[in-house]
Chain A
């Protein structure tokens, strides 16, 4: 069962091509983060999420400096080397300065249409509402022009249901991992989440349901080593999770933008697209990349650590991600005050040697074990 998920993420390109042919829907590449897939699905597109990859950086160096994050550099690499030929258009959000400018680079270099769901950074409610309504209108028209289909309340209702189900199942998987630490290996858990980036959701949901049924029957293994919560923008590189498994460390929860921060989102409000998008962008989990003074990351993370039973936090830091880097020192200080130890591990998606990472994780866990 689990092998199926691994096989998907090992064969991303052929997976997408296969379903593109079967579904006869244009593939829309979705850049990080929080672009509601429901909109693409409702417009008759096939969304695939691009959270970076482990390609060696060869061509994208021409246009992206080495001080850009490996997420941006590797997605551009993929397009430049022709690895994203099946992608017909790109959907962006304005989560950081690099991605905002990356969209401009795409517009100058490639012919593919791009859309940006600009995320308002304001606390003034009415201003946000009017502005976002206009943005949503532009984005939906853009999507419709690529797919040739209109977003209707019915199509949005269907898309909302299928993605709500998907995230509900993912939350169930999170719950199983937390209540029965070790019931699913760390490497397998993130492979399951990652497969969802590329598979059509109805197929993914069926696979996920099957897996959960199996896991529910399994007893909780005995967890000897410390339980950990991970925090960062991107959970990749997935190979790194083999280290956690080798060290028999159980990740019991996470605060990844492409993990829990997305999985925790409730059903998209299809009756009111504006409310749907607003809710999706700003709730329920805070993110370093989304300005929302109503949510406090410090309180949120402390609560999460306590609820999950994690004994420590690993900050999984993708190099050059400024929004993440700005938040961290104060967050670490606050955790310390609460008696929660943490460690920061710097990651590049293209890294192949995980030995130093392993040493640091092991040292951190030994420290936790006293």
Chain B
């Protein structure tokens, strides 16, 4: 992985964020799914907390197994999402890097990342006896439709009412507008940074982007977030300008589809570096930068926001996914693509083998599907995955 100077800034703002969340005596805490419309929560000065982000932190620091085992002893099946299990375990034991998350006062879940989150958040709602607001963003089997946007906008309005009732204050529309603008600004810098991956050699590695996406998930809508991504962009742009690649002698350029394998970040980084294979685009990191799959309504911020939450990559139909993957392959001059069949994320993974076939057919570029898990090392076979990846890398034509 690349050691960007900005990493110290990221650590600083993330630490500040978690310290405030853990110590606040006045601000309510909302637990949110990564695809939930946090803009509304921020507008009411409620601290958003992301259990998914925490679960990833636990796995990256190699603490997920012990936490999952705690949840499994409570009866949670190994069949359920490893993020959920990690968080349940961390919550029961107050474990993980920051000794558990601050208790929620409310929960907001959106179905754009999976339907499973409604189940996960119902468990938390029951445990803490706190209200749960579900923002339903149905799967876009046939692209974006006005009806889906209307449905989502209506729920946004109801969410405003829910938050106003909870805080006993009128909903702050002006603040929301500022937050939406700040969120868009940060996303734009993030997206510009990700586009630098088109440079040959790529100045960053997608594994870096998995680390650096934390602020866009948890601090979106704040000035800090905008400043951070501007800083990161400028640093990476300079590397791109100087043609400094994230790995020496970049030979292969590939896309990573699905979440990372959080507990294998360093190992994977070393593996790909040794093979001179740069991961230069990732659908997961792109999810917070706008997909370009659908045009957003810029005249009506509510509709634009609804479209951006509905259009999450794993919430779109296969026709659109194939088109999008093929576009990335072309735009980033990729030599192939890797699909992580992630046991913990069915919306991302179910159907992946078919997607791989079709994208290869359409682009002529080889793809590989590897069987792994985002958080559970116990179901991961390093030897098997690396053997598959080696064979895949050998099957690609190098860029030079």
Bound CA span A293–B123, Å: 12
CB distance from B136 to the nearest CB of A (A): 4
Bound CA span A245–B349, Å: 40
8 Å CB interface, A317-355 against B: 317, 319-323, 325-330, 332-333
**Would B123 and A63 count as touching, CB distance under 8 A?**
no
Interface flag for B169 (CB, 8 Å):
no
8 Å CB interface, A96-141 against B: 96-98, 100-105, 107-109, 116, 118, 120-124, 126-127, 130-131, 134
Which of A64-72, A183-191, A214-222 lines the interface with chain B?
A: A64-72
Chain B residues contacting A319 (CB-CB under 8 Å) are: 79
Chain A residues contacting B120 (CB-CB under 8 Å) are: 326
Chain B residues contacting A65 (CB-CB under 8 Å) are: 341, 343, 349-350, 353, 371
Chain B residues contacting A97 (CB-CB under 8 Å) are: 114-116, 346-347, 350
**Would A121 and B371 count as touching, CB distance under 8 A?**
no
Bound CA span A131–B134, Å: 15
Bound CA span A320–B344, Å: 11
Total interface residues on A, CB under 8 Å, equals 48
Interface centre among B79, B158, B353 (most CB of A within 10 A): B79
**Would A330 and B123 count as touching, CB distance under 8 A?**
yes
Pairs A–B under 8 Å by Cβ, sample size 24: A63-B353, A65-B350, A65-B371, A68-B350, A96-B115, A97-B346, A97-B350, A100-B139, A104-B317, A105-B318, A120-B151, A121-B111, A121-B136, A122-B136, A122-B155, A123-B133, A127-B158, A131-B151, A291-B122, A322-B79, A326-B80, A326-B116, A326-B119, A329-B75
**Would A121 and B115 count as touching, CB distance under 8 A?**
yes
**Would A100 and B115 count as touching, CB distance under 8 A?**
yes
8 Å CB interface, B64-100 against A: 74-77, 79-81, 84
Q: How many A-B residue pairs have CB under 8 A?
A: 137
Chain B residues contacting A122 (CB-CB under 8 Å) are: 134-136, 155
Bound CA span A291–B79, Å: 20
CB distance from B142 to the nearest CB of A (A): 9
Given A102-B350, A121-B111, A322-B79: A94 and B139 interface contact (C-beta under 8 Å): yes
Interface flags, B113-134, vs A, CB<8A=1, else 0: 0111011101100110000111
Chain A residues contacting B116 (CB-CB under 8 Å) are: 96-97, 322-323, 326
CB distance from B79 to the nearest CB of A (A): 5
**Would B119 and A288 count as touching, CB distance under 8 A?**
yes
**Would A328 and B75 count as touching, CB distance under 8 A?**
yes
Interface flag for B351 (CB, 8 Å):
yes
Interface flag for B177 (CB, 8 Å):
no
**Would A124 and B318 count as touching, CB distance under 8 A?**
no
Which 4 residue pairs spanning A and B have beta carbons closest together?
A329-B75, A326-B119, A127-B154, A101-B350
Chain A residue nearest to B162 in the complex (CB): A124
CB distance from A287 to the nearest CB of B (A): 12
Chain B residue nearest to A333 in the complex (CB): B75
Interface flag for A11 (CB, 8 Å):
no
Chain B residues contacting A109 (CB-CB under 8 Å) are: 354
CB distance from A301 to the nearest CB of B (A): 14
8 Å CB interface, B312-366 against A: 317-318, 341, 343, 346-347, 349-351, 353-354, 358
Chain A residues contacting B75 (CB-CB under 8 Å) are: 328-329, 332-333
**Would A108 and B354 count as touching, CB distance under 8 A?**
yes
Given A121-B111, A326-B80: A291 and B134 interface contact (C-beta under 8 Å): yes
Q: Which of A108, A118, A322 contacts B80 (CB 8 A)?
A: A322
Chain A residues contacting B136 (CB-CB under 8 Å) are: 120-122, 127, 291
Chain A residues contacting B388 (CB-CB under 8 Å) are: none
Interface flag for B150 (CB, 8 Å):
yes
Interface flag for A62 (CB, 8 Å):
yes
Chain B residues contacting A288 (CB-CB under 8 Å) are: 119
Bound CA span A107–B141, Å: 10
Interface flag for B138 (CB, 8 Å):
yes
**Would B115 and A131 count as touching, CB distance under 8 A?**
no
Interface flag for B174 (CB, 8 Å):
no
